[in-house]
Structure 1
Amino acid sequence: MNTSTSVTKRGLSLVAVAIAALALVGCAPAVTAPVTPTASDVWIKAVPELMDGMAMTGVFMTLENPTDEDIELVGATNTTEGLTEKPLETHEVVKNAAGEMVMQETEGGIVIPAQGSVTLKPGGYHVMYWDLLKPIPVGSTVTLTLEFSNGTTLDVEAVAREIANANETYDPEADAEGSTEMNH
């Protein structure tokens, strides 16, 4: 056998091995990145002026989960410069043993069911802003990053709205016990 034929056969053998390896890689299960839930109708309760001890507000929205597994909204980070230095928290409003509506931090986050959605709304689930450093006028925009249990994040813009029936007061003594009373 001549040398050039031997080199050609060896080259063709290497090409065949490379094609077979690529075919096997194509059959391997694809590694998919986690899917980020989507957010719609994102808004924040306007705070036109800061009052003593009342520099807080909530962010509301609808979150949708297109996956086959539950995903939790576990936190959020403010990205609006100069708005607050405090971490944001996921909260819910529940009835306590005395039948009073109280606000408390969610344990484990807010569940967005598989193939479903959850609505964050006044009197229910929300993302809580504490110790605001400046007002949030009606029509202004606040930006934040939502953090999910599957390791994904989502940047959202919340438009400030005025809501007439959300003039709740907060009881600082109840907050020291781990929840905050809301009076409407």
Structure 2
Amino acid sequence: MVEAARQAAAELDKINDGLMKISYSKKMTEMSPLQDILAAIQLEHSRRIEIRISATAYNLPVPASQIHLIVDELVRNAEKAVGDAPGAKISISAQVKKRWFRKSQLVLKVIDNGPGMKPEVLRKATDPFFSTKAGRHVGLGLTSCSEMLKAIAGKLKIVSTPGVGTSVQIEYPLRT
């Protein structure tokens, strides 16, 4: 029990640190090229992550702190899902989607070939404090991602198939 409490506290500290960085940054929204953010995330994780960025999204300026925290959390979730399974894959793709009569948007996906989620788990995935790892996990990661995206007018969509894997899609409206 004590070890589970320590792990939960460490996870809450990590989430709190990320939110504090956003809340108290000197510039409200420091923008960075998407490629720089994804390259940094790739370096921070030991597992090989495949990254595919379209030419239109490569140098796209995005809110650095928010996008980094969101994608990092999604990659961490994907790493936990695939574990050490042979053939484990995690990929990040990014493209700009042009829309008629509306702002274009960045569509970014983090995809894994882990065990996937059952429909009842998928329905609760972004609920605060919901976790399939009771006692070892606080269940705020996806909730935080969803709320941060709402704060920058974005959306989070999760598609998961048991036995196939999970795809988490970020949609961020461009300011152009």
Per the TM superposition, whether the score is higher than 0.5 is no
With the length of structure 2 as denominator, give the TM-score of the two structures.
0.27
Which structure's residues are more often helix, by fraction? Answer: 2
Which structure's residues are more often strand, by fraction? Answer: 1
Whichever of the two has the greater Rg, that structure is 1
Higher relative contact order (CA closer than 8 Å, sequence separation 6+) = 1
With the length of structure 1 as denominator, give the TM-score of the two structures.
0.26
